Amino acid sequence: MSEEQIRNLEKQFEERIARDEKIEPKDWMPEKYRQTHIRQMSQHAHSEIVGMLPEGNWITRAPSLRRKVALLAKVQDEAGHGLYLYSATETLGISREEMYEQLHTGRAKYSSIFNYPTITWADIGAIGWLVDGAAIINQVPLCSTSFGPYARAMVRVCKEESFHQRQGYEIMIKLSNGTPEQKEMAQDALNRWWWPSLMMLGPTDAESVHTEQSMKWKLKRKSNDELRQQFIDQTVPQADLIGLTIPDPDLKWNEERGSYDFGEIDWDEFWQVVKGHGPMNKERLKARVSAWERGEWVRDAAMAYAEKKAERKEKEAV
Amino acid sequence: MKDNLYQYILGIADNSLILGQRMGELCGHGPSLETDIACTNISLDLFGQVRSYYHYAAKIAGDGRTEDDIAMLRKEREYVNVLLVEQPNTDFANTMARHFLFDVYHFLFLTELKKSKDMTLAAIATKCIKEVSYHQRFSSDWIRRLGDGTEESQMRMQAAINDLWTYTDELFHQTEADKAMVSEGIGVDVTKLKAAYYEKVNTILEESTLSVPESKYFQRGGKMGIHTEHMGFLLAELQYMQRTYPNMEW
């Protein structure tokens, strides 16, 4: 293809996006668009899968059967989200095995939030309320992103995520209205998950390297800082309502802006976790790699069995 | 009659509780995303069943006990699940073999329980049997895949079946509560399920190129509350929150 032909295709492509047309897997797309989507979508899928671990950690210890059932259903939804997202990413010409390989070798990232430990039951509530809350703010705009398979996956994902968020908040309500011990447990969880949740919305606009391009492709509609503000404005009243205190002495309603002012995020901590040195990075990755390695003989067996079965069918047909 | 019925319900429900707990341990650690989803799903089904049974048991007890009290606040000697379901997830072959050996029984059992004179139990059985037919399909398929897969998988599956075989006979033992409920037309006479059980299990093992263990030595005790050493650890996790924070709502 000549350079001029490529420029022409690129122009048509940009026009399609400007017209809000969906880009589908068989359509021509710039290589950078493909690569950016593989990166973002696979990391999104990895986050769902790694995210099963901190919550899965409490399945066997959930305090009541009702909570246990809800947690199991939630983790199952997450595995399902991972599955949709891997499938959607595969339409861009990468296999699930390659994506796993990238995760296992640390070349692909997953959401930094899952590198924090779940140390009490209240953490399960805080994750639903805050982490899923922040995820929804990130993900709702993706329901109308330009790449069709991603947009459609997100429509399904977002429905379930809002349900999880309500469930998480309900756990927090119950704890806050419970005994002093339960309330303390809830406050402690909020203290530990608040800042990491704010970090989920990504680095500040000044530091965000992908923002401009992502806006152009409608992968993003608002900047990280705008989304963070939206999350804070929405979450603070929810904390107030159940009598919990946001662990930020600088948090204050700003009448003029009609928004909350808030304190400085510890970006050193953020980068430390992103670079692989958070409290649980090693354990999380180790759990995934070990599940994959220990499962190899099972996957091999399934493959061998499927081949034998196909052979037998062929023989019968002859 | 009331005591026997209460005890009889525990005898059914404890199996699902303990097996559900075992399956819940696997979340995020299975050989593939699809098996993780399936195992979580099965665990969820089992806990759903457990809630129906204990809810009913709580009503029969009628002394303010809740489903959670029954599930989480008994002592080890008071759990009456069979030894089979408390066995650990040593590897995926063990997990699937344990499930398969229980599912075949569970399906036969629920088929009979549907005919119970106790309308609540019959209704619960009718709901559960749909789920259990799915569990049975899933575990049987894995017996076939691993049995008739590679040399390694066959060896592992055969070892798992051999190890767990010793716990199958207990499924057909009757407690006093069982006998009392059978005579009332409420309970299932499990002794009558034995032939069909081994026939079904043996057929699938043979289809899967596995041999049927010849052992005539069996273990029992779970139904009388005499468990293996695995049980205490399992309960320590299951009960941790209820024990540490008594009388609270979650």
Does the pLDDT at position B75 exceed 80?
A: yes
Interface residue B37 vs chain A (CB under 8 A)? yes
The mean per-residue pLDDT over the stretch B206-227 comes to: 96
Residues B184 and A86: their CA atoms lie apart, in Å, by 54
Q: What are the φ and ψ backbone dihedral angles of A164, each rounded to 5 degrees?
A: -60, -40
Q: How far B41 CA lies from chain A's nearest CA (Å)?
A: 7
Q: Which of A151, A171, A154, A1 is nearest to A71 (CA)?
A: A171
**Contacts of residue B148 in chain A, CB cutoff 8 Å?**
305, 308
Q: Which of B163, B148, B166 is nearest to B210 (CA)?
A: B148
Record: contact A69-B245, CB cut-off 8 A: no
Interface predicted TM-score (ipTM) over 0.95:
yes
Q: Which residue is closest to A122 within chain B, CA to CA? A: B250
**A19: closest CA of chain B, how far (Å):** 37
Q: How high is the mean pLDDT of chain A?
A: 96
pLDDT band per the 50, 70, 90 thresholds, residue A317: confident
The CA-atom distances, in angstroms, between A145 and each of A21, A24, A149, A154 are 10, 12, 9, 9
* Contacts by B55-58, CB closer than 8 A, 24 or more apart: B56/B9, B56/B120, B56/B121, B56/B124, B57/B6, B57/B9, B57/B10, B57/B13
The reply to whether residue B28 touches residue A52, judged by beta carbons under 8 angstroms, is yes
Q: Which residue of B has its CA nearest to A306?
A: B145
With vertex at residue A65, the alpha carbon angle to CA B4 and CA A77, rounded to the nearest 5 degrees, is 135
DSSP per position, A299-311: HHHHHHHHHHHHH
pLDDT, residue B1, reads: 52
Asked if B91 reaches chain A (Cβ–Cβ under 8 Å), the answer is yes
Those of residues 130-149 in A touching chain B at CB distance below 8 A are: none
Residue whose entry in the numeric block shows the structure tokens 């606040």: B73
Residue B189's pLDDT is 98
- The CA distance from A221 to B137, in Å, is 46
Does B250 reach chain A within 8 Å, measured CB to CB? yes
Contact across the interface for A82 and B242, Cβ inside 8 Å: no
On whether the CB atoms of residues B187 and B9 are closer than 8 A, the answer is no
Q: What whole-number distance in Å separates Cα of residue A311 and Cα of residue A315?
A: 6
* pLDDT interval class at B226 (50, 70, 90): very high
**What does the pLDDT look like over A217-250, one tens digit per residue?**
988 889 999 999 999 999 999 999 999 999 999 9
C-alpha–C-alpha distance, residues A77 and A157, integer Å: 9
Q: What pLDDT band is residue B2 in, cutting at 50, 70 and 90?
A: confident
Q: Who among B25, B27, B68 is closest to A75 (CB)?
A: B27
- To the nearest whole angstrom, how far is the Cα of A195 from the nearest Cα of chain B? 25
Q: Which domains does chain B have, with CATH numbers?
A: 2-244 (1.20.1260.10)
Chain B within 8 Å of A104 (Cβ-Cβ)? no
Nearest Cα to Cα of residue B67 among A76, A173, A58, A68: A68
Residue B45 reports pLDDT greater than 80: yes
Count of CB pairs separated by less than 8 Å, A with B = 138
Q: Tally Cβ neighbours within 10 Å of residue A303.
A: 13
**Which residue, among A78, A77, A58, has the nearest Cα to A68 in the 3D structure?**
A58
- Mean pLDDT for all residues in chain B: 97
Average pLDDT, integer, range B76-94? 98
Q: What residues of B are in contact with residue A302 (Cβ under 8 Å)?
A: 145, 149
Do residue B92 and residue A59 have CB atoms under 8 angstroms apart? no
CB distance from A178 to chain B under 8 Å? yes
Q: What value, to the nearest 5°, has the Cα angle with vertex B70 and ends B44 and A55?
A: 35
Residues of B within 8 A of A53 (CB-CB) are 28
Buried b (16+ CB within 10 A) or exposed e, A286-297: ebbeebbeebeb
Q: How far is CA A293 from the centre of its chain?
A: 24
Contact B32 A298 (CB under 8 A): yes
What's the rounded Cα separation, in Å, for the pair B88 and B80?
Answer: 17
Give the separation between CA B70 and CA B238, rounded to whole angstroms: 12
**What distance, in Å, lies between the first and last C-alpha atoms of chain B?**
33
What three-state secondary structure class fits A261?
strand
Mean pLDDT of the region B82-107: 98
